[in-house]
Structure 1
Amino acid sequence: MVYAMIVKKKIRQSFDDVNHHRWDDAVKDMAPDVHHRVSGTHALGGERRGKQAVRRWFERMGRVFPTLRITLDEVWVTGGPWNTTVFARWRASEALLDGRGRYENRGLHVFTLKWGKVRALEEYFDSQAADRALTVQAECGVAEAAAEPIAG
């Protein structure tokens, strides 16, 4: 019980770090060889390994969606410190640069932790909605919104 509460608090803090563009804090509890996977074939999609590649991904997300706000709806924790799985259900919203619309999405993050370090993070959401929003941002001058996914 206490362990699950501590993990939930850390996960909630990591989402707050992302919302406030504190990238170093957002990756501090990740293993050096963390595996990060995001659905879709767009500038934020793909897979990468390593804390620095994930940091670069967060930086890109912050540049293409500068006012993105992610709200956690629920966090579930299962397992012990040696092998923990965390499910985080969220909603995201961003005012698009064309002034006509918003990017709205819902999703689920699945974290795998071992001894307090994030070993894997998989993100599931409407990747078509993300792709449409990235297209708008690119058309409004954010070239990186149309870039190839960050690998690593």
Structure 2
Amino acid sequence: MYHSIVARISRRNFERVNAHDYEPLLASCTPDIHHRFGGDHALGGERHDKEHLRAWFQRLGRLNPTLRLTVSDVWVKGLPHDTTIVMRWDAVQDMPDASPYVNHGVHVIKMRWLKVVSIDANEDSQAVERACAVFAAHGVAEATAAPITS
């Protein structure tokens, strides 16, 4: 029962990202959340607190306004004091030059007592970097900004 509740919460949080509804997701995180997103681009790097993660989500929404994540699998392991969630997903979005954007990846999420303590996002970081370059070429200056890190 616990695992199915956690899986449902996790899927709902991905839907919140699709809807740019970040505050409920952030409310489920500890103040010292650790977030890692691979790559050397505007979305890459590591954050170690909720405020920097909030800034990162806001940037994600500005750089990827039509991003659509579709979760295909969720695995939950552990007990409430130490839970690991693995989520496999696919992503698409509209690009300003009409080129296709597709990505896929896996998130490894750690929870303690239903609070997210870490998010490790593993995706095709080169696809993200190429998308940032397309947005930059179409006048989105933030697409070449330094990563938000803490």
Residue 97 of structure 1 and its aligned partner are, at CA, apart by 0.8
What does residue 125 of structure 1 align with?
Answer: 123
In 1: Cα distance, 2:34 partner to 2:11 partner: 20
Structure 1 letter corresponding to 2:100: R
Secondary structure at the aligned position of 1:141 is classed as coil
Post-superposition Cα deviations, 1:9-29, rounded to whole Å, max 9, x if no partner, equal 100110011000001012110
1:31 partnered with 2:30: yes
The aligned residue for residue 151 of structure 1 is 149
Q: Measure the CA separation in 2 of the matches of 1:102 and 1:144.
A: 21
Quote the RMSD (CA, aligned, Å). 0.7
TM-score by length of 1: 0.97
The equivalent of 1:103 in structure 2 is: 101
**In the TM superposition, what whole-angstrom CA distance separates every residue of 1:113-133 from its partner, at most 9, and x where no partner exists?**
011111000000110111001
Post-superposition offset of 1:102: 2.0
- DSSP 3-state at the match of 1:107: strand
Whichever residue aligns with residue 130 of structure 2, its letter is R
Residue of structure 1 equivalent to 2:112: 114
User: Take 1:46 and 1:132, find their aligned partners in 2: how far apart are those partners?
Assistant: 16
The residue number in structure 1 matching 2:92 is: 93
- Superposed CA deviations along residues 66-124 of structure 1, whole A, max 9, x for unmatched, are 0000000000000000000000000000111112x121100000001011111000000
Q: Percent identity?
A: 45
Q: Aligned partner of 1:98: which letter?
A: D
Amino acid at match of 1:28: A
Q: Which amino acid aligns with 1:104?
A: V
Instruction: Give the match's secondary structure for 2:20.
Output: coil
Q: Which amino acid is the alignment partner of residue 50 of structure 1?
A: D
* Matches of 2:88 and 2:51, distance apart in 1: 25
Aligned to 2:137: 139
TM-score for both structures, normalised by structure 2: 0.98
Q: 2:143 is aligned with what amino acid?
A: A
Q: What per-residue deviation string (whole Å, max 9, x for no partner) do you get for residues 32-68 of structure 1?
A: 0000001111000000111111111111010001000
Measured in 2, the distance between the counterparts of 1:97 and 1:55 equals: 25
Deviation at residue 8 of structure 1 after TM alignment:
0.5
Count of aligned pairs between the two proteins: 150
Segments of structure 2 that go 5 or more residues without pairing to the other structure are none
